[in-house]
Amino acid sequence: MIDQSVVAPAESAPRLPVRPSAGRFLILAVVFVCAACGLVYELELVALASYLIGDSVTQASVVLSLMVFAMGLGSLLAKRLRCRAAVGFGLVEAALALLGGCSAMVLYATFAWMGESRYALIGFSLAIGVLIGAEIPLLMTLIQRVSRQDAGGTVADLFAADYVGALVGGLAFPFLLLPWFGQLTGALLTGAVNVVAGGALVLWVFGRDLTGRERGLLLLVNVLVLAVLGAAAVLVDDFERAARRAVYGDGVRVAVQTDVQEVVLTGGRGGRDSRGGPLDLYLDGRLRVSERDEFRYHEALVHPAMSGPHERVLILGGGDGLAAREVLRYGDVRSVTLVELDPGVARLARTDPALAGLNKHAYDDPRLRVEYADAFAWLRERGPGPEPEPYDVVISDLPDPGITPSTKLYSEEFYGLASRVLAEGGRLAVHAGPPAARPRTYWTVDATLRAAGFGTSPYSATGRASGFGAGPDRAAGAAAEAVVGQDWGFVLAAVGHPPRVELPPDVPRLRSLAAPLLEAGVLGAERTRLRDLPPSTLVHPRYAG
């Protein structure tokens, strides 16, 4: 955080209301608080950018690199304020509190009403970085005015207070601010703490050295910043509802922030508060399930994998219960284990009338057992060996591999773990993203499965343009149309040999999938093939967002 050291020019000692040692302690305490607030602003920008734009690695790199660059500029610009260090620091902290505190609301507003928040993100990263960078030179000047000490000792004290404050801010953000206050209120509260700490230091400790105009200016600015932050905190719930309507439309029925993600349900016909219309499920702002066409996706994912023994089935992901719905349609399925990271999604799938109706109350079936865990960790802890009994079918119903947190669930190591829980001759079905829209991602999944020892059979399915893919809707008629309208890509895999992509003899009646369409999906995926792609591993992920 601190990368500059500035030695203050000789000045007359200020008239302090406390002893110099106490004044020095107060300055270091404010350094601690400001460092904690500054890191919260940084983490808030990274978290919101990842949520609103996606690809957390790229967004973190952009935000942090811009802020560090801007901090250097701020340190240089602060040289002009050293002659009026006290009033300069007070104004810098007020501006930082206002920008940092309101940054989350402004970013969310630009995303909701303008559809794009990248430029706002860049602007806030630069502005906040400049202000954070200006803090240390000014604080260095103030602390040397209070207590004459060698520059090395002063820098060491400032570094210590700054880094400890950054530690506290970094821990407070995920463990206190987010779960207790949420992103918007948490940022506003941080801004309020920031402006109070900075204003109190300048107006109390250095107030006797300020002119009457400077004191009046600082007092007015701090009161105005607190008023803006307080008004925003009062209106934050109304703002969030309005922004949510702008993003999701007027049909929002359920909006829940779980420990993992934001879950929103719109439409649906299952409850008294329903506004009608098809049910849509959004996770962190991205459409994951649409009642209009989810059956196309889930039928294509599940039923080809059921061609063969399928008494024991493992579903990785799929907390909405829709993949389980298709599996449980087979009467000879003896047990289904569903591994879901987010208990909040499973709870909605079990209790929300519309979503439970869509999954045919799969969670009430005694054959279904739910494990709440990260799929990678769950497979790793299970370990090799004959006990417990292996699975005939494993279905990977996970987010697209292009989403950064999901890349480990599409790695060679992950598929190696999956192969250990498969029975001999068992089959693994993987949702691999759209082959037409993102062929490199899709065929990297195929290459990764083959590197893990699987034989693979790629295929695709068609559906509406509802956020899963990029193809137009096609009637389930001619096979040729299915190739043109493909939206979702899958890979069916088995250890050692590629399995046939076909429907089982005892397949239940399906709404969209038929043998000719499945054959066309195989041809459609093959036409996008990219050869000689390297596999994706934990230490070298190959997927792009």
Active-site positions read: 397
Distance between CA atoms of 215 and 211, rounded to whole angstroms?
6
Determine phi and psi for 425, rounding to 5 degrees: 80, 5
DSSP letters spanning 92-141: HHHHHHHHHHHHHHHHHHIIIIIS--HHHHHHHHHHHHHHHHHHHHHHHH
Taking each continuous run of H as one helix and of E as one strand, the counts in the chain are: 16, 11
Distance between CA atoms of 194 and 182, rounded to whole angstroms?
18
DSSP letters spanning 346-369: HHHHHH-HHHHHHTTTGGG-TTEE
Cα distances (Å, whole numbers) of residue 154 to 5, 29, 147: 9, 14, 9
User: Using only C-alpha atoms, what is the Rg of the chain?
Assistant: 28
Distance between CA atoms of 502 and 79, rounded to whole angstroms?
72
**Of 342, 337, 296, 335, nearest in space to 320 by CA:** 342
Amino acid identity of residue 434, one-letter, is: P
Instruction: State both tokens at 265.
Output: 């349900």
Compute how many other C-beta atoms are within 10 angstroms of the C-beta atom of residue 115: 9
Per-residue b or e along 150-173, where b marks 16 or more CB atoms closer than 10 Å to that residue's CB = eeeebbebbeebbeebbebbbebb
Determine phi and psi for 508, rounding to 5 degrees: -70, 170
